[in-house]
């Protein structure tokens, strides 16, 4: 059985540095990480901030909508890490690119593009221009299937990934604020606004196959799918092996985000490894690899 590749979520590796920061990315690179994920949010001048959230006050000592700032302005803000203000300025994608160039054997920087603003063609062209020097080491992923499709049209060679989170999710768990879809918990217990979820038409496995087919039609077929790990498990419980379904179509699958702080998450990781998962996103790859007891790549 092939062991999955572990992805360093938000450039975390169990170290004590701010998530998504340049110092965190640098630490991963120096440690020999194979693949690192960071979140990127568009800025007003064409660059991208290494930030997950729409508002600065979620992760920094500043306030305001991230996309309203230029790169120079957002660099005046500093990361807050575990409730404490740090002296590290917010990172920019344009500053991350030179770091990657210094590690030619580094496999992949996954850029999770956040749709906090309309991801227009101009925004996507800016992204392609920023990453051009290291494009062979970049994979752009997003919940925004429309942006993924347009990126494929703009650049046939760009590695891509898709997360179906805006279309299908667990019906329980973290409470949503009512502004992010899917808004409705359907008849099968999944959060899903599609008409197929309006009533029970048959067994859950048939419903999930139909939803997977619909989602497949929304994105190119040559990318990696990034699916919330508990959602993969719930689908397995309902008789649908999403991993096998995508593998049969030549598509790899990443499960996010699994850490060792909860025994049930380690057990879930083992279950997904047994099911053939290709990648696992984690905040501490060395610790998860040890917990799984295998020679996992990270």
Task: For 64-79, give the DSSP string.
Answer: SBGGGS-HHHHTTSEE
pLDDT at 173: 67
Res 26 pLDDT > 70: yes
H helical segments located in 120-224:
121-131, 145-154, 204-216
- For 99-135, how does the pLDDT look when each residue is reduced to its tens digit (9 = 90+)? 999 999 999 999 999 999 999 999 999 999 999 999 9
Res 174 pLDDT > 70: no
Mean pLDDT of the chain: 96
CB within 8 A of 31, min separation 6: which ones? 13
C-alpha 160/C-alpha 66 separation (Å) is: 24
Confidence band, pLDDT 50/70/90 cuts, at residue 178:
confident
C-alpha 135/C-alpha 180 separation (Å) is: 31
C-alpha 124/C-alpha 12 separation (Å) is: 26
What does each C-alpha distance from 166 to 54, 149, 176, 220, 240 come to in angstroms? 16, 16, 12, 17, 20
Q: Is residue 272 within 8 Å of 242, Cβ to Cβ? A: no
Enter the CATH code of domain 5-167+218-292: 3.20.20.190
């Amino acid at each position: 059985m092939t062991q999955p590749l572990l992805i360093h979520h938000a450039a975390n590796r169990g170290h004590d540095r701010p998530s998504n920061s340049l110092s965190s990315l640098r630490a991963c690179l120096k440690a020999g990480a194979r693949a690192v994920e960071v979140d990127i949010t568009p800025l007003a001048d064409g660059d991208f901030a290494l930030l997950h959230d729409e508002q600065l006050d979620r992760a920094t000592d500043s306030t305001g909508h991230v996309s309203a700032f230029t790169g120079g302005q957002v660099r005046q803000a500093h990361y807050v890490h575990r409730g404490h203000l740090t002296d590290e300025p917010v990172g920019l994608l344009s500053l991350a690119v030179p770091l990657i160039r210094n590690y030619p054997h580094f496999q992949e920087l996954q850029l999770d593009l956040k749709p906090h603003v309309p991801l227009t063609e101009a925004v996507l062209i800016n992204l392609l221009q920023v990453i051009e020097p290291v494009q062979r080491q970049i994979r752009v992923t997003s919940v925004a299937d429309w942006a993924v499709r347009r990126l494929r049209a703009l650049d046939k060679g760009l590695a891509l990934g898709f997360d179906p989170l805006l279309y299908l999710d667990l019906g329980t768990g973290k409470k949503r604020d009512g502004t992010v879809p899917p808004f409705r918990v359907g008849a099968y217990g999944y959060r899903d606004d599609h008409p197929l979820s309006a009533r029970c038409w048959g067994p859950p496995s048939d419903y999930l196959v139909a939803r997977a087919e619909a989602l497949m039609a929304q994105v190119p077929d040559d990318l990696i799918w990034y699916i919330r790990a508990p959602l993969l498990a719930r689908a397995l419980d309902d008789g649908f092996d999403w991993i096998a379904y995508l593998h049969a179509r030549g598509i790899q699958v990443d499960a996010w985000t699994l850490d060792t702080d909860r025994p049930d998450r380690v057990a879930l990781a083992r279950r997904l490894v047994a099911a053939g998962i290709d990648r696992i996103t984690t905040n501490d790859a060395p610790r998860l690899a040890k917990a799984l007891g295998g020679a996992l790549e990270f």
